[in-house]
């Protein structure tokens, strides 16, 4: 088929590569170059870089306005495929391809409609993660679903790792749907069940509440890592938590600590929750490089009065 592909982050790359092997990609639509790093160097999006590698024409657009719509329309695509582009597809562009647009979304729809489905699912403690390919409509992530699949994700996966797994499996799912649309066998069905939403995360979403059980604290850590990042405060200063896991049992390895109370071992610092502690292995204090948590704690010359979250 003659396709237009829209995507921006690394999670969209597996689908682009897979589709490029079997179809004519008339153009790749992606967000404009953005400043990266401390020097704020303008850098093409991950999808733009792969499109250049594959020799595919690229349309860089911050929004799919009249100009972008005109350029895409002139290509006469049979189908549009979108994966985490970062902008809305509105009419008349929505109806421009012969078969409209399909969207790979990293959730089991109608659960977690929105910008951060993987992160929100992990924060909520969901054990079933997956991907859906659906017909794009004007309402947010509400179109009929062509295919849906639960994906095995490691139990300790943070959001970035989970997204990598889902992106690879989702690419194959999308390719199957595109093949079905091409040969006329694809069929979409209305979404079933109660919808939940997954709005974009803010920095505040990364704050860990030590008064919650360790499972809830760890679920939030996984969901906000690496972005916007899990954090707490110690002595009034923010500390980003880069690596953590629930402390092991028996209790000899996981001493009873009050919520927010901190103690150090050789490998980690232990922070008390409403149940057993969270073992924190690496941290990044504000304005400083990442370091091993016990080294940071010793460097504070900390005493028993310091608590996390204060």
Reported as a single tens digit per residue, the pLDDT across 89-126 is 999 999 999 999 999 999 999 999 999 999 999 999 99
Q: What's the mean per-residue pLDDT of the chain?
A: 94
Residue 282 · residue 292 · CB < 8 Å: yes
Whether residue 237 sits in one domain with residue 126: no
Domain total of the chain:
2
Whether residue 104 sits in one domain with residue 225: no
Whether residue 160 sits in one domain with residue 28: yes
The residues, ordered by sequence, that sit 6+ positions from 114 with a Cβ below 8 Å of its Cβ are: 120, 140, 141, 197, 198, 199, 200
Res 250 pLDDT > 70: no
Whether residue 90 sits in one domain with residue 213: no
> What pLDDT is attached to residue 46?
97
Q: Is residue 31 part of a domain?
A: yes
Whether residue 293 sits in one domain with residue 227: yes
> What pLDDT is attached to residue 40?
85
Domain coverage including residue 216: 203-299
> What pLDDT is attached to residue 144?
98
Q: Is residue 195 part of a domain?
A: no
Whether residue 147 sits in one domain with residue 67: yes
Question: Burial code of 150-186, b = ≥16 C-beta within 10 A, e = fewer?
Answer: ebebeeebbbebbbebbbbbbbebbbbbbebbbeeeb
Whether residue 169 sits in one domain with residue 261: no
Whether residue 208 sits in one domain with residue 178: no
> What pLDDT is attached to residue 303?
63
Whether residue 127 sits in one domain with residue 72: yes
Whether residue 215 sits in one domain with residue 263: yes
Residue 227 · residue 206 · CB < 8 Å: no
Whether residue 211 sits in one domain with residue 97: no
Q: Is residue 127 part of a domain?
A: yes
Closest alpha carbon to 217 in 170, 274, 151: 274
Whether residue 211 sits in one domain with residue 166: no
* CATH code of 36's domain: 3.40.50.170
Q: Is residue 271 part of a domain?
A: yes
Question: Burial code of 203-212, b = ≥16 C-beta within 10 A, e = fewer?
Answer: eebbbbebeb
Mean pLDDT for 220-247 is 96
* CATH code of 233's domain: 3.10.25.10
Q: Is residue 304 part of a domain?
A: no
Res 251 pLDDT > 50: no
Mean pLDDT for 152-157 is 94
């Amino acid at each position: 088929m003659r396709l237009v592909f829209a995507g921006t982050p690394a999670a969209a790359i597996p689908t682009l590569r897979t589709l490029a092997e079997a179809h004519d990609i008339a153009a790749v639509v992606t967000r404009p170059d953005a400043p990266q790093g401390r020097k704020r160097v303008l850098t093409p999006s991950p999808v733009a870089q792969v499109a250049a590698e594959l020799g595919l024409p690229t349309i860089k657009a911050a929004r799919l306005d009249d100009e972008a719509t005109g350029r895409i329309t002139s290509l006469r695509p049979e189908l549009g495929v979108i994966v985490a582009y970062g902008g809305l597809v509105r009419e008349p562009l929505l109806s421009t391809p012969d078969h409209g647009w399909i969207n790979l979304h990293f959730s089991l729809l109608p659960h977690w409609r929105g910008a951060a489905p993987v992160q929100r699912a992990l924060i909520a403690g969901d054990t079933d993660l997956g991907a859906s390919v659906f017909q794009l409509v004007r309402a947010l992530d509400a179109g009929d679903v062509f295919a849906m699949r639960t994906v095995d994700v490691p139990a300790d996966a943070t959001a970035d790792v989970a997204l990598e797994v889902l992106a690879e499996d989702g690419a194959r799912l999308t390719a199957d749907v595109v093949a079905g649309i091409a040969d006329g066998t694809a069929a979409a069905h209305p979404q079933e069940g109660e919808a939940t939403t997954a709005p974009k995360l803010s920095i505040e979403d990364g704050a860990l509440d030590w008064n919650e059980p360790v499972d809830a604290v760890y679920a939030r850590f996984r969901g906000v890592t690496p972005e916007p990042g899990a954090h707490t405060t110690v002595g009034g200063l923010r500390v980003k938590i880069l690596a953590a896991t629930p402390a092991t049992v028996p209790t000899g390895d996981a001493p009873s600590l009050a919520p927010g109370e901190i103690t150090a071992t050789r490998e980690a610092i232990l922070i008390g929750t409403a149940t057993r502690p969270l073992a924190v292995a690496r941290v990044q204090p504000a304005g400083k490089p990442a370091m091993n948590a016990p080294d940071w704690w010793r460097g504070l010359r900390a005493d028993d009065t310091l608590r996390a979250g204060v």
